[in-house]
A and B are shown apart, each in its own frame.
Chain A
Amino acid sequence: MFLIACPHCGPRSQAEFVYERAEEAVAYPDATPEATLTALYSRANPRDFAWELWRHAYGCRGWIRMRRHRTTHEIAEIEALGATL
């Protein structure tokens, strides 16, 4: 497990958080069918850093955007997403 520095709550155990999806997986309502297909079914799935969306589901319930290393779990960048509380 690892610590996630929630932009609202500070460092908290990863057990409180839920991985929502890779940022590249976000499908937009006005996107072309090709772009939607790519968002739904195509991933870079790298062994190193990727942008991801998480939620502090068992905490402040805020949405978070982070750049996380998928082998070491190091979080290089993290920020709040959407309206702040």
Chain B
Amino acid sequence: MTVLNARRSGGDGVLAARGLAVGYAGRRRRVVLDGVDAELNAGELVCLLGANGTGKSTLLRTLAGLQPALAGSVTLLGEELAGIPAAERARRLAVVLTEPVDAGLLSGYDLVALGRYPHTGWDGRLDPGDHAVVRWALEATATARFADRPVAELSDGERQRLVVARALAQEPAVLVLDEPTAFVDLPRRVELVSLLRALARECDLAVLLSTHDLDLALRWADTLWIAGAGAGADAVAGADAGAGAGLRAGGPEDLVLDGSLARAFASDRVRFDVVGGGFAPAPDATAGATVAGDGPRAVWARRALERSGYRLAAPGDAADVEVRAHPSGWTLAVDGRVTEHRLLADLVAHLRAHRADARPRTRAPVGPR
């Protein structure tokens, strides 16, 4: 009961990190992520984003108690995580890891039933209540039809759902998933994330998952955690006041607008498109283009130009390339020459040929030796 009260009182959240530093202890001690202040609340889906090597997995393992923290504290339902016995911790928090599950001849049912581990006695015998929970977990993840099939025969996506069902069978308050969408095709990813959010809402579950899928995170997460958003990044109004140096937490839209997302992934070759909400190739700053018209034809013409390395200017501004979308195609004006194109591929090819003529060759000339 105390647990329930603690959760209702809100405050610190179901899982909270204060001044947390994660990384590897021992002789070659290495801090991967420092100064993490964040909390996870019941009923909330949080996506952890970050470029490779920013310590997402290390952070998740530390928050899940699978790896000791180097500094700071983690509390789970108001109790210090390190002080909670392993079995009790497993009744409060379940994980889905990146490593593939190779369960051999286990059936789907057996795999999910392993999630009852922290609830059963020394011999692991399942009572009717345990079986009911396993069936519920199978149904909640729509995996009941895999119950009798050997796990080895299932596809990656099907197996992943069973692994999630196994985590649910632990009946945790917190579910932590490390890149659950990595080996799953795009429609299955959306299915999985929408399932997780539904579970968060209906079971009052706190869900934390790391992902590389920015679009998915922006569309589905209640809160984003961005690892490596830049130490000492200026505090921006609207972002979580508790955001630490190594981790920035806030609403997805706020983090897009304040530039945290762009900073986290910034590089010379890509830039974050604040309007489109995705990453695009960095433009050649030299050539500008405008697109007139509206509707899908204009939108995709802009993307085609961006893909070809043009910087989009506002309509009416001076530009090297002007495109006008009209119902039967696109009109292209470049250096005073006007051409009509029915396909964007033709338009792009024309531009490429034009630029190749105009620009001095960068390839070494093949001359007599």
Q: Do A and B bind each other?
A: no
